Amino acid sequence: MLELRNIHTYYGSIRAVRGISIIVNNGEMVCLIGANGAGKSTTLMTTSGIYTPVEGSIYFEDRDITQTSAEDRVALGISQVPEGRLIFADMTVLENLELGAYTRKDKQGIREDIDKMFQFFPVLRERQKQRGGSLSGGEQQMLAIGRALMCRPRLLLLDEPSLGLAPLIVKQIFEIIQQINADGTTILLVEQNAQIALQVTNRGYVMETGEITIEGASADLLADESVRQAYLGE
């Protein structure tokens, strides 16, 4: 479904991503793990079109989207949940969800999907008239995921959904993410919490200073001695 081929992304002279290749097959959940500053977020933002690579190609459903704008990528079916959620603090929960559907014109369908999000995240229904900024961290993450799902993506890009959340809330969020994947949305997940990321995904890529150093089935990575030592605190 998604293929990054030899992607290089720079910030001026900083070479954040140095020739990485990643494949995500239809229906899979794949993770990208690695230390702070390894280049994971840059990879995700290059996939969503916020950054343009200086070299390499990106294919989505066999179409070359390397030069496609971020907005057009949303219309093609790629949606990102950014690091730090970035919900609109002064808008209500409902308005945040409606914003997620900005590429759509089918009012009836949008209403149905909002209802679906409320079934998925009952706490958002209860708080639909509250300001986004008044929600807890976990609720804001749910709202950010719900907003990203409102454009009916086929590929969901998730950047550090566990960031700043208590372990119990992280567990809840990941149960929801697994449900979204089981319902048919393909997922590329960036996480610093390698333990949980490898537990819930099919395959994983390990990134170090802008390059992929290890890749494989997540179960194999969980058992890999070097991964255990470097990323699982052993």
Task: Give me the residues that bind ligand ATP (CB under 6 A), please.
Answer: 11, 14, 16, 34, 36-42, 83, 192
Token pair for 158 = 């998730």
Tell the smallest beta-carbon distance from residue 148 to ligand ATP (Å): 18
55-60 and 63-64 beta bridge pairing: antiparallel
Best CA proximity match to 209, nearest among 66, 19, 71, 38? 38
Residue (42 or 218) nearer to ligand ATP, CB: 42
Tell the smallest beta-carbon distance from residue 83 to ligand ATP (Å): 6
Tell the smallest beta-carbon distance from residue 36 to ligand ATP (Å): 4
H or E segment to which residue 64 belongs: strand 63-64
Best CA proximity match to 165, nearest among 58, 83, 48? 83
Residue (36 or 108) nearer to ligand ATP, CB: 36
Residue (16 or 206) nearer to ligand ATP, CB: 16
**Cβ–Cβ < 8 Å for 83, 137:** no
Tell the smallest beta-carbon distance from residue 45 to ligand ATP (Å): 8
Angle CA 13–17–21, to nearest 5: 150
Identity of the residue numbered 150: M
Bridge partner list, 64: 59
Tell the smallest beta-carbon distance from residue 205 to ligand ATP (Å): 12
C-alpha–C-alpha distance, residues 116 and 232, integer Å:
36
Tell the smallest beta-carbon distance from residue 108 to ligand ATP (Å): 39
C-alpha–C-alpha distance, residues 22 and 31, integer Å:
10
Residue (76 or 163) nearer to ligand ATP, CB: 163
Burial 19-43 (b: 16+ CB within 10 A, else e): ebebebeeebbbbbbbeeebbbbbb
Residue (11 or 102) nearer to ligand ATP, CB: 11
3-state secondary structure of 164: coil
